[in-house]
Structure 1
Amino acid sequence: MANASETLGRVAIKRLQKEITEWQNNPPAGFKLNPTDDLSKWTVEFDGASDTFYAGEHFQLQIRFPEKYPLDSPVVVFAGEPPLHPHIYSNGHICLDILYGSWSPAMTVSSICISILSMLSSATKKERPVDDDRYVKASRGKSPKLTVWEFHDDKA
């Protein structure tokens, strides 16, 4: 990930380089960062935690960083087949408040990954959101950051 994307500002480049170094020195348990040539796009792989609905399942996150990261949150979606979860849509979009309005520049890729694993691990049922078909059709090709999310269910 040595090359910096032309779409990133200087602050974002410096911050992402710091996060890569931190990840290499102290990676979050169970997560693998797959290097690319584009600093603005990361791929992270992980397995579902044991003793959960997702044990034995393998997942991949695609993370795209905006020009003003970390002031602006990254776009985080599941690539490939996303897990069946009441807050994860079949197009990979994730309904998780820290990715949108509750984002803080103090958060990192590691903290995002741990939050997503925690969300999966605390699931009480394995199913798509009730509005999955409607949402996927309406959001086709759009960033999940353009969605006006309603965060009201923290028990899924």
Structure 2
Amino acid sequence: MASISSRRLAKELMEIKNDGCPVGINLVKADDFSTWWFTIQVMGESLYKNEQFTLQFRFDPQYPISSPAVQFVVTDGKEAPVHPHVYSNGHICASILGNEWSPVLSVIAVCVTLQSMLASCKEKQRPIDNDRYIKHAPENPKKTRFHYDDDT
């Protein structure tokens, strides 16, 4: 019997394959229901014009009740975007990935939110505590208890 998680992810994947992704978001790989990769690009005028980043989603058996672990992929040749809410190891401080996660959110909704977060960035800079954080950060960003500040 399929789990709630696998049924939900199968539904989301079918919608992505049938309807496509929003402009600037592309599914790279989704071979199973544990890890998916997307590329994300900010469209229009922004500090990230002509830059493309890769997002990794890792799902646990409690998805969609629990949020996916989402981070920018950092490898040789690929960096996380320089952004006040993105650590240099790719971890993202965004409330929708933590205390404001809702099971009604989808993978594509998260991608669109992160695309919007990049589009609205006013200054390319790392979080103030970047060096300290990456020195002690767990591999899984969900194991971090971020403090969320309102940018307004």
Following superposition, which runs of at least 4 residues in structure 1 exceed 4 angstroms of deviation? none
- 1:150 is aligned to 147
Instruction: Say whether the 8 Å CA contact 2:26–2:38 is kept in structure 1.
Output: yes
- 1:20 is aligned to 13
- Letter aligned with residue 18 of structure 2: N
Q: What percent of counterpart residues are identical?
A: 42
* RMSD, aligned α-carbons: 1.3
- Letter aligned with residue 150 of structure 2: D
Instruction: Say whether the 8 Å CA contact 2:6–2:33 is kept in structure 1.
Output: yes
Superposed counterparts of 1:40-119, under 5 Å: 40-80=34-74, 81-119=79-117
Q: Any idea what the Cα deviations from partners look like across 1:114-150, whole Å, max 9, x if unmatched?
A: 00001001111101001000000010x4311111111
State the TM-score, normalized to the length of structure 1: 0.89
CA distance in 1 between partners of 2:148 and 2:90 (Å)? 17
CA distance in 1 between partners of 2:96 and 2:45 (Å)? 25
Instruction: Say whether the 8 Å CA contact 1:98–1:104 is kept in structure 2.
Output: yes
Query: Which stretch shifts more, 40-49 or 101-110?
Result: 40-49
State the TM-score, normalized to the length of structure 2: 0.91
Provide closer, same or farther for how the CA distance between residues 20 and 49 of structure 1 changes in structure 2, counting only shifts above 3 A.
same
CA distance in 2 between partners of 1:120 and 1:149 (Å)? 19
Between Structure 1 and Structure 2, how many residues are aligned?
146
Please list every run of 5 or more consecutive structure 2 residues that lacks an aligned counterpart in the other structure. Answer: none
Please list every run of 5 or more consecutive structure 1 residues that lacks an aligned counterpart in the other structure. Answer: 1-8
